[in-house]
A and B are shown apart, each in its own frame.
Chain A
Amino acid sequence: MNMIQTIDLTKRFGDFTANDHISLVVKEQEIKCIVGENGAGKSTLMNMLYGLLEPTEGKILIREKEVNLKSPTDAIANGIGMVHQHFMLVPSLTVFENILLGAEIKKHKCLIDEKTEIAKVQELIAQYHFELNPMDKIEDISVGSRQRVEILKMLYRNVDILILDEPTAVLTPQEVDELMVSLKNLKKQGKTIVVITHKLREVMELSDSVTVIKHGKVIGNMETKDTNEQELAQMMVGRNVILTVSNNNMVDEQAEIIYKADHISTANIFGKKVVDNMSFCVRKGEILGIAGVEGNGQSELVKIMSGLMETTEGTISFHGENITNIWPKEIRNKGIGIIPEDRYAQGLCKEMSLGDNIIAGYHSRKDVCRRGILQRKAINSKRDKGIKDFDIRVGDMNGTVAALSGGNAQKIIVSRELTANPDMLIACQPTRGVDIGSIEAIHKHLLEYAKKGNAVVLISSELSEIMSLSDRVIVMCKGKITGEIEPRDTNMMKVGLLMAGIHEEEKNE
């Protein structure tokens, strides 16, 4: 039976056609992946299926009956549940409260019956073999667990079609594997699953069939077994892309050390050491990768390095000069560029123009600011040059960053940091949530930059990114360095062990 069928589904926003006559079929008990670059219209399509948007034209058929979905409540009533990319959870409430939100069990007419609720949720967790404690608060559990809560929330409402919007974007490699196992289990239990993604490895591993969307149109519908990653990538981007850019630079092992962290530590709000006695150095012309499961102190390390957090112990030196705990502006002035972890929180100002963003952090430099007054002409020429050199796709030159896709917004940051010509670049999650085409471009820029004799510190939760780009990799676990490896002659197995904090005793220690 066809669980979902869309016939010529179209959605227009004014003149812009986000979805153009989309026709696809999702069969019962299959895992369907919908792939496409950012901005291809995947989310619009899903929002129509979940009742958040109303189609301009076309039909939606659920279980071969035409439906008119006006709200998420309608969708749930029709057995469709959606797990959003940004979780719809309430951090201060517990797991069971979140799962039963909107479907509370009551006693004495007005009070909430917590006991029965917990028992119900316990039962649900057991039924689907999830690992969760119903009493935990959402704010205390990992991202992977939160996602499981979100899935359970839908399952509790008896949906048999689950839509997941970019479910792996926020997960660690281990959590991705766990999610895949869970989804395959759900399929066995009779659920139909639709996954939106642009990670092709996951498509190949997970799905039964794939639909590729580009510019709001269906480019191809096929069985997963009849295709491969390269072909899908080509369909998505419309040209041949190199899926992994690899590092062929040769680093002089005697090159000058320009950046040195010496036994640095810091603590979080609760006084727990999240960066614990870390020492490392970076040489000229080298890309140093920092790998680790997310939440093991990488964020805090980057914050220390980029001046957003203070250390409790230890020193950092750059070109032999002590730069411990100086502020981001001074760090940039010393010649260190920063690509921050969260581009919209720390890297860009969404509501400001492209020009303003392209000088952000460098706005008091003489070339764009004279006697405290910003030089609009100079800024605009800088902007135009950046857009040209880094191939940033913009609609309106004078528009805001909010109008750009994730990949292009990220390229604004990369262009800004690299054109300032720093001696070292801190690149934190440089390709998170970025489309394949832009990933390729950003990787090439990083390699080219290092080749010129500059240093790069690359922090990423994408292990493949770290392994293909870095000259040397240090692995972090629980705030400590658990090992250093040569990416060219180390297998993934060893890295995985180090990431879990298991390391063989080094002989010379």
Chain B
Amino acid sequence: MLNSILYDCIYHSAPIILCVLGGCFAYKANVLNIALEGMMLNGAFVSVLTYFLTGNMLITVVLTLLSALIYGFVFSYFGITLKGNVIVIGLALNMVALAIAGFVLVLMDSANIIIQNFDLNALKIHIPLIENIPVIGHMISGHPIITYLSFVMIFLMYILMYKTKFGVYVRVVGENEEAAKSIGIKTSFYKYAAVLIGAIGCALAGMNLSLERLGLFTNNMTASRGFIAIAAIYCGQGKPVQSAIYAILFGLARSLSVNLSIFAGNAAGLFDCIPYLVMMVVLSMASYIKHKPIKERGYKVNE
């Protein structure tokens, strides 16, 4: 029981972490990317569909990333170049992703795309030695590659955001665009880049969610993970490590809901709302704690 809760925690955290890490850059660049959900769904859909049609993993990865970049470019073009409202554009992209997948499913006359004879176990990596440690071994060994990648990315994204020129510029653009312009930083370039990093993160998250873990796609299988990621980004104020910790918290909530529902009998469905309830409670608590010592009326933290 404990073993499977811990294993599932890692398992469910991975896609949210990837989404969060990508979204952090957009958040720091002051372009709120609420299309994370759609981009993730698109990643899940394109990866399974391509593999279903070609059976070639390399083509699948390339096409999935390409399609994510298209979403990223569309979002950036409308939101940054044309200065549209990013919320509306993001919502539209979320719906487009859902609609395209739905349309193709109807054409295929099927409720989902299932890849036949897909060996899921072959994708799992068993780490020698660590595998044999009790509890922990079972928890961290035996995941597919993108899951491991997601945890490594927390560290890499931290370096990228705080130790490189690129990261500094992204934060400068988000915090004081005029300052960035006054010293000749091309602000649009950094905003585009921040959104595209988010798109890649979401594509990986989608691929992990559908192809790598299940070998199947059903529409709306992302189940609002993109929005949970946005909540995690907010709670962690866009800092990669802190936000990722919130992502893991939500992963744990989902793992609990999955594992506990076994005992719930008829009420099992109710347990599905645990991650969403946790999200609401965490968001309110984070906001309450931030505002509690403030005597000033109507004061906004971080704005």
Nearest CB of B to A422, in Å: 21
Given A73-B184, A90-B172, A90-B175, A309-B296 contact (CB < 8 Å)? yes
Closest to A309 in B: B296
User: Which residues of B (146-179) have their CB < 8 Å from a CB of A?
Assistant: 159, 163-165, 168, 171-172, 175-176, 178-179
CB-defined contacts of B298 to chain A, threshold 8 Å: 308
Partner of A101, one of B159, B168, B297: B168
CB <8 Å contact, B168 and A93? yes
The segment out of A102-110, A397-405, A441-449, A462-470 that lies at the interface is A102-110
For the complex, is B182 an interface residue (Cβ under 8 Å from A)? yes
Nearest CB of A to B291, in Å: 9
Closest to A104 in B: B165
CB <8 Å contact, B295 and A312? yes
Given A72-B183, A90-B171, A308-B298, A106-B165 contact (CB < 8 Å)? yes
CB <8 Å contact, A267 and B295? yes
CB <8 Å contact, B184 and A72? yes
CB-defined contacts of B172 to chain A, threshold 8 Å: 90, 93, 101
Closest to A91 in B: B175
CB <8 Å contact, A71 and B164? no
Closest to B179 in A: A88
For the complex, is A29 an interface residue (Cβ under 8 Å from B)? no
Nearest CB of B to A214, in Å: 28
For the complex, is A184 an interface residue (Cβ under 8 Å from B)? no
- Complex Cα distance A153/B184, Å? 13
- Complex Cα distance A266/B295, Å? 7
Give the residue among B165, B183, B298 with the most A Cβ atoms within 10 A: B183
Interface size of B as a range: 20 to 34
Nearest CB of A to B187, in Å: 12
For the complex, is A471 an interface residue (Cβ under 8 Å from B)? no
- Complex Cα distance A91/B178, Å? 13
Nearest CB of A to B194, in Å: 16
Closest to A274 in B: B295
For the complex, is A432 an interface residue (Cβ under 8 Å from B)? no
CB <8 Å contact, A84 and B293? no
Partner of A92, one of B175, B184, B294: B175
For the complex, is B185 an interface residue (Cβ under 8 Å from A)? yes
Give the residue among A92, A101, A110 with the most B Cβ atoms within 10 A: A101
- Complex Cα distance A102/B183, Å? 6
CB <8 Å contact, B297 and A307? yes
CB <8 Å contact, B183 and A101? yes
CB-defined contacts of A92 to chain B, threshold 8 Å: 171, 175
- Complex Cα distance A389/B181, Å? 43
For the complex, is A373 an interface residue (Cβ under 8 Å from B)? no
For the complex, is A97 an interface residue (Cβ under 8 Å from B)? yes
CB-defined contacts of B164 to chain A, threshold 8 Å: 110-112
Nearest CB of B to A266, in Å: 5
For the complex, is A269 an interface residue (Cβ under 8 Å from B)? yes
27 contacts between A and B (CB under 8 A): A72-B183, A73-B183, A73-B184, A82-B182, A84-B182, A88-B176, A93-B171, A97-B168, A101-B168, A101-B172, A101-B185, A102-B183, A102-B184, A102-B185, A104-B168, A106-B165, A111-B163, A112-B163, A266-B295, A270-B293, A271-B293, A308-B296, A308-B298, A309-B296, A310-B296, A311-B295, A327-B297
The 3 closest A-B CB pairs, nearest first, are: A102-B183, A88-B179, A73-B184
